[in-house]
Amino acid sequence: MAGGKKSFQGSILLLVILLLICFPAGLIYLVIKWEEDTTSVPMRTCMSCGANIPVNYNVCPHCGKATMPEQVPPQA
């Protein structure tokens, strides 16, 4: 009877170890993916104040001037 209980505890220990390994790895993966998503937005420089603004902005959030339309590659 003791043998069955021991193997059950062993599988739990294995699961805990797997979780301990997978949890930080998953977190790192999520952080990297999130950073890729936020940095994938193409930026350009405002003609009026020189601030970095996303290309999809029609008005500069820093100086309020309308930005010049640029050739933006269409997103698939």
Question: How many chain residues are in contact with Zn ion, going by CB under 5 A?
Answer: 7
Assess 63 for contact with Zn ion (CB under 5 A). yes
Residue 5 CB contacts under 8 Å (≥ 6 apart), including other chains? none
Please, what is the minimum distance in Å from the beta carbon of residue 46 to Zn ion?
Answer: 3
Q: Nearest 5 degrees, angle CA 72-CA 44-CA 36?
A: 85
By the rule CB under 5 A, 43 interacts with Zn ion: no
Compute the distance between CA of residue 55 and CA of residue 43 in angstroms, rounded to an integer.
5
**Binding Zn ion by CB under 5 A: which of 28, 49, 66, 68?**
49
The CB-of-49 to Zn ion minimum distance in angstroms stands at 3
> How crowded is residue 67: how many other Cβ atoms within 10 Å of its Cβ?
19
Residues of this chain that bind Zn ion (CB under 5 A): 46, 48-49, 51, 60, 62-63
